[in-house]
Amino acid sequence: MMGPGQGERPETAEGPWPAEGTSERRSSRSGATLAVGAVIVDRSGRVLLIRRGRPPLAGTWTLPGGRVERGETQEQAVLREVLEETALRTRWVAPLGCVTLSAEGYAFDIHEHLLVPVDPGAPLRAGDDAAEVRWTTPDELGALGVGAPAVHVVALGLAAARARDLVGDTTR
């Protein structure tokens, strides 16, 4: 989470997120671009990743997400970005916090969100900024070269999913 004066948002009943229906700014007070990211988990605890097709960090495996467009809420933006990059329809569950990332001349304040698939068996298709898309287990993140900030956010997302009984025994 960011500290005071670093693009933080006013508190709402749900936490440091805008009230439903409010429009989003395209950049934060820090000058970084306002963005969203998604930790999408299925019932078995797998996480959906994309391989970036464009800069910054082209070729790396990471979480789906992107810029918040003018007039969008973060929830609308994260659902749109996931659909554009993976062809997967998802349901928003909870905010996970904010990560500020700078790479290759870009700076983003990425507001991370926990999502679940509407249809876990739906086919995946890479699109927009994504060159590839795949489900993976948390144990595979290191081998895929997923960066430490994304690994940390995945851990937060899985903990939040477990607390909500969204991850568990699929044979029940």
- pLDDT for res 28: 56
Between β-strands 47-52 and 90-103, what pairing exists: parallel, antiparallel or unpaired? unpaired
Asked if residue 133 is part of any domain, the answer here is yes
- The total domain count for the chain is 1
Structure confidence by residue, pLDDT tens digits, 114-123: 999 999 999 9
pLDDT band at 31 (very low <50, low <70, confident <90, very high): confident
Asked if residue 9 is part of any domain, the answer here is no
What is the arrangement of strands in the sheet containing 130-136, beginning at the earlier edge strand?
61-62, 47-52, 130-136
Residue 114 is part of which domain span? 33-163
Asked if residue 91 is part of any domain, the answer here is yes
Asked if residue 12 is part of any domain, the answer here is no
Listed residue (42, 66, 71, 69) closest to 54, CA to CA: 66
Residue type, 158: L
CA–CA separation, 118 and 108 (whole Å)? 28
Structure confidence by residue, pLDDT tens digits, 96-109: 999 887 877 778 88
Asked if residue 22 is part of any domain, the answer here is no
pLDDT band at 7 (very low <50, low <70, confident <90, very high): very low
- pLDDT for res 26: 47
Asked if residue 11 is part of any domain, the answer here is no
99 exposure class (CB count in 10 Å sphere: 0-12, 13-18, 19+): buried
The residues assigned a catalytic role are 132
Asked if residue 20 is part of any domain, the answer here is no
pLDDT of 154 strictly over 90: yes
CA–CA separation, 142 and 140 (whole Å)? 6
CATH code, domain carrying 126: 3.90.79.10
Asked if residue 144 is part of any domain, the answer here is yes
Least confident of 47-56, 101-110, 144-153: 101-110
pLDDT of 29 strictly over 60: no
